[in-house]
Amino acid sequence: MRKRATARAVAEMAGVSKWTVIRAFTPGASIAPASRDKVLEAARNLNYSPNLLARSLATNLTREIAVFIDDFANPHKLPFLERLTSAAQAEGLVVMLININIHFDHVHALINADQRQVDAVVLFGTSFRDETLRDKRLGPGFPKLFVLARDSQIKDVPAINCDTELAMREICEYLDAKGYRRPAFMAGPRALSTALGRRRCFRDYWSRKGSPDLVEIQAERYSAQAGADAMRQFLTTASPKTRVDLIMCENDILACGAKTVICNEFGLSVPDDIGIVGFDNIELSADPAYGLTTYEQPIDEMVRATIDMILGRRSRQSVNFPGRFVPRSSA
């Protein structure tokens, strides 16, 4: 087996102390440029890399973060996750991905993350309530928590989110000006949907416009199939009283499934018979087969704020960023 080079060996080759070597590999540490250059050159010659485990014992920081996610069917998650992990790695952070599912709930995930002494936990688009933190299986302490891409429902846990109220106001004002008067809202699973706030803002807007009885359609998951199933069920059982001219979907993938059923199975026209709107501006939404009117979340700004909070460069306070309304042919 190859023998691992040590900090002491680097120090001897560079003619400096072991602590100078440690400072050279510690971000922000005070060290003369000439000394750093000598250390880095010796490290390259010896193929040396610092022992991160030993550093974590000395600094009480592991430079690891855990990301909890429970919605892999939503195609918006992958590009978002790619940019989050890329930004974290650029800062020297290692990301541990934990899949929240029926076999591994939030409590088990928190225990798992805490055992690995991660510096922070990012709840990425996953519903999480304060009663979870009162579970007796949890110890007295746990890593710092951050909610990404949803509203936080926990006191002292900051949320980094798209500005829901601004987004829905822009969308609704556009739809109102287009002449839509009988709106419906398609939401995802109730446990996840609650923390998004899109349904609430949509309902409030149309209530102020004189449509207090908003028609609601419930999808079981955030997937095209779930959107199609929910749309099919609604159109099959809809009465004249529940006839609508607009479907606002909680995200794009639900809208894609709904549009397929509207056009292909019921022979209706979008937008002439029913307008349809999504949220997220996934790549598929721009396809001519869908042409979804939608809203793009400010992913880069949200990711940057999350990383800055984790590293202590930004105060741990909830923040909402404005996104971008994207009108297309579906509404």
Q: What is the number of domains present in the chain?
A: 3
Mean pLDDT over 101-124 rounds to 86
Residues 168 and 287 in one domain: yes
Instruction: Please indicate whether residue 21 or residue 153 has the higher confidence score (pLDDT).
Output: 21
Cα distance between the two ends of the chain: 64
Of 183, 193, 253, 245, nearest in space to 218 by CA: 193
Residues 230 and 106 in one domain: no
> How much is the pLDDT for 269?
96
Of 151, 156, 163, nearest in space to 133 by CA: 156
> How much is the pLDDT for 267?
94
Residues 193 and 278 in one domain: yes
> How much is the pLDDT for 307?
96
Instruction: Please say if the pLDDT value at position 120 is more than 70.
Output: yes
Q: What band does 130 get if pLDDT is binned at 50, 70 and 90?
A: low
Instruction: Please say if the pLDDT value at position 148 is more than 90.
Output: yes
Q: Which residues of 317-329 are buried (b: 16+ CB within 10 A; e: fewer)?
A: eebbbebebebbe
Position 326 in a domain: no
> How much is the pLDDT for 294?
98
Instruction: Report pLDDT digits (tens) over 36-53.
Output: 999 999 988 988 877 655
Position 331 in a domain: no
CATH code of 41's domain: 1.10.260.40
Last residue of a domain, one of 39, 59, 79: 59
Mean pLDDT over 118-128 rounds to 85
Instruction: Please say if the pLDDT value at position 2 is more than 70.
Output: no
> How much is the pLDDT for 289?
94
Residues contacting residue 115 through CB under 8 Å, at least 6 positions apart? none
Mean pLDDT over 218-235 rounds to 95
Instruction: Please say if the pLDDT value at position 1 is more than 50.
Output: no
CATH code of 316's domain: 3.40.50.2300
Helices within 238-282 (DSSP H only): 252-264
> How much is the pLDDT for 193?
66
Q: Which of 184-193, 198-207, 210-219 has the lowest mean pLDDT?
A: 184-193
Of 58, 190, 69, 173, nearest in space to 122 by CA: 69
* Residue span of the structural domain in which 18 resides: 7-59
